Structure 1
Amino acid sequence: MTAHKTPSIWSLTWPITIEMMLQFLLGTADSLMVSRISDDAVAVVGISNVFFNAVIVLFTLVTGGSGILIAQKLGAGKHADARKIGIMSVSLTVMMGIIVSISLIYGTDLFASLMQVPDNLKGLSHTYMSIVGGGMAITALNLSMSTAVRNTGNTRSPMYISLGMNVLHIALNYAFIFGAFGFPKWGLLGVAISTVVSRSIAFFFQLRLFRHAFGVPVALREFKNIHMRLLKEVAKIGWPISVNGASWTFSQLVIFSMIASMGEQPLATRTYMNSMESFAFTFGWSLALAAQIQIAHLFGARKLKDAYYAAYRALGFGVTVVLANTALLLIFRAQIISAFTSNTWIIDMAISLLWLNLALQPGKMLNMALGQSLSAIGDSRTVMTYSLPSMWIIAVGLSYVLAIPLHMGLYGIYIGMITDEYLRGAPCLMRWRKHRKKLIFVAAFSEERGSTQRDGGKVVPL
């Protein structure tokens, strides 16, 4: 069978960018609507979403590895294996999703206490977390199916589904928060219901898209098949991605817990900052995801030089764009932040923190571009090894020391996060370069460098 045609970086990037930008814009509209309820409601949504992101990372044990392998198998022309991996990933993630949903329905109060949610916010957090958390099985299904489809090279169709889901979510938010169109005025309860309903409707479109993603429509009976050989391949790549992602998300959850212990205003500020910072790195993250898909296809097709340089193109272009986006935020900082809240303490603090993004965003791009590239060639374990110590010693440990004992507050948190980004990104860059000199890409560059010779079918450094 002929190898699958490698998609271009632009054809992959622009639908992911539009999807994420729409999510950002609609997420910002979501935050603005919730802010009309109260700053407390914004704080609850902010810390709850960080928690849900930590939960979703559990699903990447399957989806992370399966997505990369789908791209690699298609690049190598092994379409049957790609189909089996996609189907298997959906089956496994839905089982995990059901377990997680049940746990969150009955364990909301425990999780809120562990996150140090202030007592006056626990009632709101129980309402929001139990409903949205109860729908995690649907979230797991949507994630696994969209990941599989994107890694076939079709990033456009998931974009359309995401657009529809988010537009519906905003419309339902408007109805439930303000009591429009004859709907009841349910406040934060309505926001939670809106989230679950919009994700459930999106599921039916994702299912149809997934069934036709691999040629012949996927039959229901195929979901019961588990292929151990392929599962081992998925796990080999997927478990480091899952551990790394879980570690990062849980470290952010701990940091949010620190901020929560400072009070409602710092927590609300950090939540608003998350929305604004999303604008800065949305394109960079889209580019990193597209580069991962493209590099995995190229790696599967053994186009190693193209795969190697793709990472640098993503990094260079990504840093330029995230800095430009941060500059735009700074130019219009007063108008943007004032649209979220009238609290002068929050506005002044957020403006100060925006300046620190000039250092934060390039570090994030370095991590995103090189980390995703390493995972695309199956080197996810190295990314995990580099990242875990920095996340907990620097991002959490240094942030705590600066923010709490040294009383630097949110400034200390940001200094810790910035330092962590560069301490994780720099080793990934060095590892990528090492793959050219000694590891995976050495054969592709041996003639150009003139420093290797072939011995028994192996490339041996002179």
Structure 2
Amino acid sequence: MVQTEKSKFTLWLLAWPIFVELLLQLLLGVVDTLMVSRVSDDAVAVVGLANQVFQAMMILFMTVASGAGILIAQKLGAKQNEEARTVAIMATTVSGLIGIVLSVVLYKEALPLARLFQLEDRLLPLAQTYISIVGSGMVLTALTAALSTVIRNTGNTKGPMITAIGMNIIHILFNYGFIYGAFGFPQLGLTGVAISTLVSRLLATCLLLFMFISAFERRMTWQDLIVFNRKLFGAILKIGWPMGVNMSSWVLSQLTIYTVLATMGARELAARTYLNTLESICFMLGYSIALAVQIQIAHLYGAGRMKEAYRSGYRGTWIGLGLVCFNSLILFFTFKSFLSFFTSDVDILKLGFSCLGLALVLQPGKMINMGFGNALSAIGDTRFNMIISLISMWGVAAGLSYYLGLHSGWGLAGIYVAMICDEYLRGLLVVIRWRQMKYLRRAEANKVNAANLKTGASVTESAGTSLHA
């Protein structure tokens, strides 16, 4: 049984289902972008901006889900299965309640939200339709995110992967039917894409709930919905609220950047949306490694295996960096064909081609930042990430985007330069922080102290330095 538990949390077994899941989720976005581009480039611009709005709203429940996921992996590593189960229940119910509130707000306030981000008047009706329909299902997004995070951090990364496969198949079929009027569906354009998104998320939520019921040694029951442990919920928030601020900082800074893009025009907005889709394909393998490393390190940290946790941070990040660099080279040589497949607008194509080199330089910086940043989060060192994010994302990414993009007239290229500076600055800072091993030293010292209390020996000073061995 011990060997089975260890093999369950190996990097490869954790990473490959995450990669497939994220790839399929990305394909859902690519299918959206590709099929919506057949409606119009204006519709693509609306979907790109609307998705940024949804990501901003998601922070409220992802704060709980992310903190809970790390705590679950730590508790399972420490063999505290009942506490891990309680954390999972609270994360799901609280996320669902937050999702209900967000669904109501997005459905009723779709038009004011669209106006808030300086969209051109001709795009407002499209934005109102898409935001109100997809946004009304935010409760499904909340439940899907919480359930996937919980299930994944128990070591079962295949479950969310299977869900992603089913979700993509349904979404593609419904998209095709609603956009082209196939299979007897009414031809609804962007409205049909929104409905398709809603239906696929509903089915994904149902499947994840089925998996969630038996995710722990003791099955879930209806009575568990009212379970609440103040101490454990406090532990969730202690880890999660800095992560929430970090995510908020990223999403809101991206919204600010998208607002700057919107003032440049629909072509710049559409070009960034297309580029972002292709960049995500390039980065996906590295991102899956970073998520797997976070789960693995949290489990090792909970189990008291500090030396292995420290080494895993380096191993996972360097593997991810190699994969990202390799994918960047592939994208460099195939980019023209990919982008031409999405749009035939000459101005959008020129914008995309002119920013290709900058987009690829951005990717290794993102991997270093993501790999070591997730490693820090896995051991509970989330406040550091929060502080550097607030400073760099706003002072460098958003501030420099405005200065270079609008004030200096660099346009989309200026925005990419700003994002590159932000990612590499934060990447350097998290590497330095990981090497300092502050939280690992503290946990190792606590473990040694506890062992010494049992044996009556004096406290040694070898806890911190032994991590380098």
Aligned pairs (5 A) from 1:84-233 = 84-233=86-235
Identify the match of residue 56 of structure 2 among 18, 37, 54: 54
Aligned to 1:368: 370
What is the rounded CA distance, in whole Å, between the counterparts of 2:159 and 2:299 in structure 1?
19
What is the rounded CA distance, in whole Å, between the counterparts of 2:364 and 2:464 in structure 1?
34
Aligned to 2:453: none
Q: Secondary structure at the match of 1:161?
A: helix
Aligned to 2:398: 396
| Residue-by-residue CA offset, 1:24-55 (whole Å, 9 max, x unaligned) | 23322221111000000011011101111111
Aligned to 2:296: 294
TM-score, normalised relative to structure 1: 0.95
| Residue-by-residue CA offset, 1:344-364 (whole Å, 9 max, x unaligned) | 111121122121133200110
Counterpart residue type for residue 277 of structure 2: S
Aligned to 1:5: 5
CA contact (8 A) 1:4 1:75 kept: no
| Residue-by-residue CA offset, 1:292-341 (whole Å, 9 max, x unaligned) | 00000000001111100111111111111111111111101211110000
Of residues 7-16 and 22-31 in structure 1, the stretch that sits farther from structure 2 once superposed is 22-31
Q: Secondary structure at the match of 2:344?
A: coil
What is the rounded CA distance, in whole Å, between the counterparts of 2:440 and 2:300 in structure 1?
19
Q: Secondary structure at the match of 2:186?
A: coil
Of residues 63-72 and 320-329 in structure 1, the stretch that sits farther from structure 2 once superposed is 320-329
Counterpart residue type for residue 174 of structure 1: Y
| Residue-by-residue CA offset, 1:69-113 (whole Å, 9 max, x unaligned) | 000000000000000000010111111111111111111111111
Counterpart residue type for residue 341 of structure 1: T
CA contact (8 A) 2:134 2:197 kept: yes
CA contact (8 A) 1:283 1:321 kept: yes
Counterpart residue type for residue 21 of structure 1: L
CA contact (8 A) 2:381 2:439 kept: no
Q: What runs of 5+ residues in structure 2 fail to find an aligned partner? A: 449-456
CA contact (8 A) 2:441 2:464 kept: no
Is 1:284 aligned with 2:290? no
The structure 1 segments of at least 4 consecutive aligned residues displaced by more than 3 Å after TM superposition are: 1-4, 436-444, 454-462
What is the rounded CA distance, in whole Å, between the counterparts of 1:222 and 1:460 in structure 2?
40
Of residues 383-392 and 352-361 in structure 1, the stretch that sits farther from structure 2 once superposed is 352-361
CA contact (8 A) 2:445 2:463 kept: no
Q: What runs of 5+ residues in structure 1 fail to find an aligned partner? A: 447-453
Q: Secondary structure at the match of 1:371?
A: helix
CA contact (8 A) 1:2 1:77 kept: no
What is the rounded CA distance, in whole Å, between the counterparts of 2:254 and 2:160 in structure 1?
27
CA contact (8 A) 1:177 1:186 kept: yes
Aligned to 1:248: 250
Identify the match of residue 434 of structure 1 among 430, 433, 436: 436
Aligned to 1:420: 422
Identify the match of residue 353 of structure 2 among 338, 351, 354: 351
What is the rounded CA distance, in whole Å, between the counterparts of 1:294 and 1:122 in structure 2?
45
Aligned to 2:454: none
How much is the aligned-residue C-alpha RMSD, in angstroms?
2.0
Aligned to 1:342: 344
Sequence identity percentage = 47
CA contact (8 A) 1:4 1:76 kept: no
| Residue-by-residue CA offset, 1:437-459 (whole Å, 9 max, x unaligned) | 98447769x9xxxxxxx963565
> How many corresponding residue pairs?
454
Note the C-alpha offset of 1:234: 0.4
| Residue-by-residue CA offset, 1:412-458 (whole Å, 9 max, x unaligned) | 000000000011111111010001798447769x9xxxxxxx96356
Note the C-alpha offset of 1:215: 2.0
Note the C-alpha offset of 1:460: 8.1
Q: Secondary structure at the match of 2:5?
A: coil
TM-score, normalised relative to structure 2: 0.93
Q: Secondary structure at the match of 1:278?
A: helix
What is the rounded CA distance, in whole Å, between the counterparts of 2:197 and 2:95 in structure 1?
20
What is the rounded CA distance, in whole Å, between the counterparts of 2:315 and 2:3 in structure 1?
24
Of residues 140-149 and 354-363 in structure 1, the stretch that sits farther from structure 2 once superposed is 354-363
| 1:90 to 1:438, Cα distance in 2 relative to 1, 3 A | closer
CA contact (8 A) 1:179 1:185 kept: yes
Q: Secondary structure at the match of 1:195?
A: helix
Is 1:309 aligned with 2:311? yes
